Amino acid sequence: ITIINRVPGRSDFTIELEDFVGSDDPTVAVKLLGSEISRYSFRDNIDTEVSELSLTFGQKATIPITISVPANASPGGYYTSVIIAHLPQGGSEDVTGAKTVSRVAQLLFVRVNGEVEESGQVKEFVVTPTTPVHVSGSLGFNVLFENTGNVHLAPYGYITVKNIFGGIVAQIPIDAYYALPQSERYREVLWEPPFLFGYYTATLELNRGY
């Protein structure tokens, strides 16, 4: 991982490991757990070599990250992030005495090969705005995907819009995105339609990522 100091003067940074999981909110991709150890933790098998460093303005440091997979590791997905925190210098406190610490997370997706449980499904496919008649403006197609397995998936596909005669008006791609185990995640795809008149249907075809 490469760190560049963009703050004038000398700055101190810390490097920590923190587990992450899928969020209970399907609109939020991940949830960082702080000191909590998740069931998908891999932090004991990740070495960052250094835990803190100091850089002057414009200086760059490359930190090697070593991931070691134990011989007895169970097949499945493991999810730990490397957190780079910029420690504020003196005089950066607000009126309450609190200091703001800037943090950047590099997410690590580790998959141990073997017999894993890959399963997922579309739970909802809706269009916004939800009015029965659309006059003008963009349309949003919202896909709610549920990952019920024990390894992350990367669903992708496309949406086909047809007119009342069955003619294809548009094919809208859904680029691959990740869905963590035992979680739900929304994906919104925006479409700027041409002039439309009449009745239209939208059909979702989603590859579940396995």
SS (H, E, C) 164-190: CCCCEEEEEEECCCCECCCEEEEEEEE
| pLDDT for res 90 | 59
Residue 86 and residue 101 in contact, taking contact as beta carbons nearer than 8 Å: yes
The pLDDT, as a whole number, for residue 60 is 94
Contact 206, 155 (CB under 8 A): yes
pLDDT at 95 over 70: no
What backbone torsions phi and psi does residue 43 show, to the nearest 5 degrees?
-65, -30
The answer, yes or no, to whether residue 132 has pLDDT greater than 80, is no
Assessment of whether the complete model's pTM goes beyond 0.75: yes
In this predicted model, which residue has the larger pLDDT, 199 or 196? 199
Q: What is the pLDDT of residue 93?
A: 57
Confidence label for 29 from pLDDT (cuts 50, 70 and 90): confident
* pLDDT for 156 beyond 90: yes
pLDDT value of residue 70:
92
pLDDT for 96 beyond 70 = no
Q: What is the DSSP letter of 73?
A: P
Q: Check: CB of residue 52 under 8 Å from CB of residue 39.
A: no
Confidence of residue 194 (pLDDT cuts 50, 70, 90): confident
DSSP state of 8: S
pLDDT for 135 equals 66
Question: Quick one: pLDDT at residue 133?
Answer: 73
How confident is the prediction for the chain on average, in pLDDT?
A: 89
pLDDT tens digits, one per residue of 171-187: 999 999 999 998 999 99
